[in-house]
């Protein structure tokens, strides 16, 4: 009940400044994430191990420690994304 009243009172002056700043920052953040797409998102759940003996890049799932041939140009991150889809 009190909330709606205080919101209306604050709306004019006091909250205007910080709210505007936070909002525009968040919008920019969302835009950046969208353009970067899901590819970089994958690396929040996997760790790049780098190329193995065969020169193929590998990545390890942070959750189940499973290793995948991924991360390099040949394999990309599609297999990692598929693995994440199972969760
Ligand atoms: Zn996993």
- The full set of domain ranges for the chain reads 2-36, 40-85
Task: Identify the residue whose tokens are 């191990």.
Answer: 49
- Residues 35-54, mean pLDDT to the nearest whole number: 82
**Separation of CA 13 and ligand 1 centre (Å):** 49
- The helix or strand, by DSSP H or E, that contains position 19, with its residue range, turns out to be helix 16-36
Residues within 5 Å of ion ligand 1 by Cβ?
61, 63-64
Q: Does residue 57 register a pLDDT over 80?
A: yes
Higher local confidence (pLDDT), 2 or 62: 62
Residue in 36, 46, 31, 34 with CA at minimum distance from that of residue 79: 46
- Mean residue pLDDT of the chain comes to 76
**Separation of CA 74 and ligand 1 centre (Å):** 21
For residue 58, count other CB atoms closer than 10 A to its CB. Answer: 19
Q: Are 36 and 77 in contact (CB under 8 A)?
A: no
């Amino acid at each position: 009940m009190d909330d709606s009243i205080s919101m209306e009172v604050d709306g004019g002056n006091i909250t205007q400044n910080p709210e505007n700043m936070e909002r525009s920052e968040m919008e920019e953040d969302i835009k950046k994430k969208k353009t970067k797409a899901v590819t970089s998102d994958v690396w929040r759940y996997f760790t790049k191990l780098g190329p193995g003996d065969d020169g193929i890049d590998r990545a390890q799932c942070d959750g189940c420690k499973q290793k995948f041939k991924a991360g390099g140009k040949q394999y990309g991150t599609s297999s990692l994304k598929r693995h994440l889809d199972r969760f």
